[in-house]
Amino acid sequence: MGTTQLPDAISHYLTLVSSAVAADPADVLACFTDDADVIDIDDTRHGHAEIRDWWTGPVTAFHYSVEVPSAHALGGDRYVARTRLSGDFPGGTVELANRFTLRDGLIARLEIAATSSESSADA
């Protein structure tokens, strides 16, 4: 999976994303702090209740496969993982930069931004 060994919470989250439709929302929430923020392009969610709604809504609305071509530490408790999703959503394929900030071993912030194959993984 890329160039950096990722912390357990991030690795587990990325595994769950790979099977989003089948993943138990409780398993997803276990990756996040109680007060975590998820910014998914233009959709911001705060705390477990809103993250659960995000997971059971937009994240699982389509079927897709996920590849993780690269992952890098950004310093401190910050990491970025590039993902490539292919599926039955509009456009069929998208590349994303997933920027994680950890606190106490859990994801405190996740920012998901569209990227292109030409840009760097931490752009």
Q: What is the tens place of the pLDDT at every residue in 45-85?
A: 999 999 999 999 988 888 888 999 999 999 999 999 999 99
Which of these, 82, 81, 76, lies nearest to 103 by C-alpha position?
A: 76
Q: Where are the beta strands (DSSP E) in the chain?
A: 32-40, 43-46, 64-75, 78-87, 93-103, 106-115
Domains assigned to the chain: 8-115 (3.10.450.50)
Residue 1 confidence (pLDDT) above 60: no
Write down the pTM of the prediction.
0.88
pLDDT of residue 60: 87
